[in-house]
Amino acid sequence: MIIHRRSMKRQFLIRQRDEYFQQHGGQLLSDMMKIDRNLEFTLYRQEDIEVATNNFDKNQIIGEGGQGTVYKGFIENIPVAIKRCKGMDESRRMEFGQELLILCRVNHDHVVKLLGCCLLFEVPILVYEFVPNKTLHDLLHGQDRRYYISLATRLRIAAESSQALGHLHSLARPILHGDVKSANILLGDNLIAKVADFGCSIIARMDEEALVAKGTVGYLDPEYLQSCKLTDKSDVYSFGVVLVELLTGKKPRCLVSMFQDAMKEGTVDELIDEEIINEDDLEVIYQVAELTSRCLTMPGDKRPAMSQVAQELRQFTELVRQRPDAVGDLIALREVDRSFTGTTDSTGYTRS
C-alpha cells in the first residue's frame, strides 16, 4: 500500500507538471525552439529552480513587486535572478511561451537579459542574468545614503534607461514595460543602467491597445487609470517620474504635481537636489526639467516618443561631460559604501 501510494503521488505530480507546462504554452515554446537551433534560451527543470532558490526561501528574495518576486540563486555555478511571476492573465496563458521567445531575443546593453524559464510550476518562473549592484531607487533613496551623485552620472543613467525603453518600443512587436520606476532600473558594473522586470510586461498588438493591470502608485499614467489601456506613452509618463526623482532626489509620492506647478510658476530650481545645482549646470538642468515636463504632459499623445527622450538625454549628457570641470561619470563618496559597489576602482568612485 505504501509503495502504491508513493507511485500514485509521483504520477500525480508528473501529471500536474505536464498540465502547468501545457497551460503556459510550453509545448508551443518547445516546438519553436527545435526550429530555431541558434536560440539562446533554456527550459530549466523544476529541480534546477528549487535547488537554486532553496525551495523559494524568503532569505534569498532580492526584490518584490506587483509583477512577481525575485530570488538570487546559482544555476551551474552562475549567479542568476529568478523571478516567480504573479497574476498571470488567464486569457493569454497559451500565448505566454510564444511571447517568451520574443522577449529572449531582446538583445540590448541596457536591458537585463532573459536567459530562460521554467513552466512546470503553477506560475511561470523566469530566469535572468544577475546584475551585481543595487537599483537606482537604492542609489537615490537608500536608508544609509553616504555618497554624492553627480549630475553627469544621473543623466547617463537616465540616457541609458531611456535608450533601453526606446529599443523595446521600436521592435517589430513593441514591448510595453508597464512598470517603469527607479526600482526597476538596475545598476551593473560601473553603474551601467539595465532596465529590468519587463518579462511579465505586455507585448503590444499592432491592431489594438494593450490591457494591463500592473504598475506602481506614484508612477502610473493618469490616463491609464482612467482607461486601463497601456500605451507606449504610458511608459513615457512613468519615465518622466523617474526623471523628476533624478532631478530632485525625492521619492515620487505627490512629486509630479509639485514639479509641474513649480515649472508653471518658474520656481523649479527650489525643487532641484542641492547636490547637483550649480551655476555651470543650471542651463542643462532647466532643459532636462523642460523635457521631464513634456514627458508628464496631458493628454498623453502630446508626450514625446521614448526614442526622442533618449536622443535629448544623450545630448544633455554630452554637454555636462564637455564642461572643463565636470565630474563626469564619477560619484564622489563621502565614505566608501562597499555594500553598494564592492570596489572603489572599477566603478569610477573617488573619495571626496
Tell whether the model's pLDDT for residue 349 goes beyond 50. Answer: no
Dist. CA 72–CA 284, nearest whole Å: 39
Least confident among 91-95, 210-214, 297-301? 210-214
pLDDT band (50, 70, 90) for residue 342: very low
- Over residues 255-279, mean pLDDT: 91
Dist. CA 201–CA 198, nearest whole Å: 5
- Over residues 69-79, mean pLDDT: 93
Q: Which helix (H) or strand (E) holds 281?
A: none
What percent of the chain lies above the pLDDT cut of 90?
Answer: 45
Least confident among 156-160, 205-209, 284-288, 337-341? 337-341
Query: Which one of the listed residues 18, 138, 179, 280 is annotated catalytic?
Result: 179
pLDDT at 19: 77
Active site residue 345: no
- Over residues 122-130, mean pLDDT: 90
pLDDT at 216: 82
pLDDT at 94: 56
pLDDT at 205: 55
Most confident of 80-84, 97-101, 141-145, 335-339: 80-84
pLDDT digits (tens, 9 = 90+) for 100-121: 777 888 889 999 999 999 988 8
- Over residues 260-280, mean pLDDT: 91
pLDDT band (50, 70, 90) for residue 23: confident
Dist. CA 204–CA 207, nearest whole Å: 9
pLDDT at 98: 65
- Over residues 254-272, mean pLDDT: 93
pLDDT at 178: 86
Which set of grid coordinates corresponds to residue 352? 571626496
pTM over 0.85, yes/no: no
Amino acid at 44: Y
- Over residues 256-273, mean pLDDT: 94
316 closest CA partner among 349, 293, 294, 289: 289
Which set of grid coordinates corresponds to residue 280? 555651470
Tell whether the model's pLDDT for residue 326 goes beyond 80. Answer: no
Which set of grid coordinates corresponds to residue 345? 576602482
Dist. CA 198–CA 180, nearest whole Å: 9
pLDDT at 344: 31
What are the phi and psi torsion angles at 120 (to 5°)? -105, 5
- Over residues 54-61, mean pLDDT: 94
Dist. CA 146–CA 263, nearest whole Å: 30
pLDDT at 155: 96
Dist. CA 56–CA 21, nearest whole Å: 19
- Residue whose entry in the numeric block shows the C-alpha cell 532580492: 62
Tell whether the model's pLDDT for residue 215 goes beyond 80. Answer: no
- DSSP helix/strand/coil, 43: strand
Tell whether the model's pLDDT for residue 208 goes beyond 70. Answer: no
pLDDT at 273: 93
Tell whether the model's pLDDT for residue 316 goes beyond 70. Answer: yes
**Who has greater pLDDT, 153 or 333?**
153
pLDDT digits (tens, 9 = 90+) for 155-181: 999 999 999 999 999 998 888 888 899
Instruction: State the Cα angle at 21 between 19 and 23, rounded to 5°.
Output: 65
Using alpha carbons, list the distances in angstroms from residue 261 to 243, 269, 285, 295.
16, 12, 17, 15
Task: Using the CB atoms, write b or e for 2-31: b if 16+ within 10 Å.
Answer: eeeeeeeeeeeeeeebeebbebbbbebbee
Tell whether the model's pLDDT for residue 52 goes beyond 80. Answer: yes
Q: Which helix (H) or strand (E) holds 315?
A: helix 306-322
